[in-house]
Amino acid sequence: MKNKIKIERAIKNLTQEDLAKKVSVTRQTINAMEANKYVPSTVLALKIAKIFEKPVEEIFILEEID
């Protein structure tokens, strides 16, 4: 699953640490999500979408597996 977290953070002028605090995770978790090394839970994805005021599917992109 790809995501646009880094782009959305830049738009909102948030650091990884700022976003992590807002959604109650570590900065390392945000970093891993941005690097596509960690897939968030549904609850975490929804929290992130709420912070960015966008639908979850605009931030997280499900890739088709052949």
Reduced 3-state DSSP string for 4-38: CHHHHHHHHCCCHHHHHHHHCCCHHHHHHHHCCCC
- Alpha-carbon distance of 17 to 58, in angstroms, equals 22
- Contact status, residue 36 vs residue 2, Cβ threshold 8 Å: yes
Give the pTM. Answer: 0.91
- Alpha-carbon distance of 66 to 64, in angstroms, equals 6
- In the CATH hierarchy, which top-level class contains the domain 2-61? mainly alpha
pLDDT (tens place) for every residue of the chain, 66 residues total:
899 999 999 999 999 999 999 999 999 999 999 999 999 999 999 999 999 999 999 999 988 775
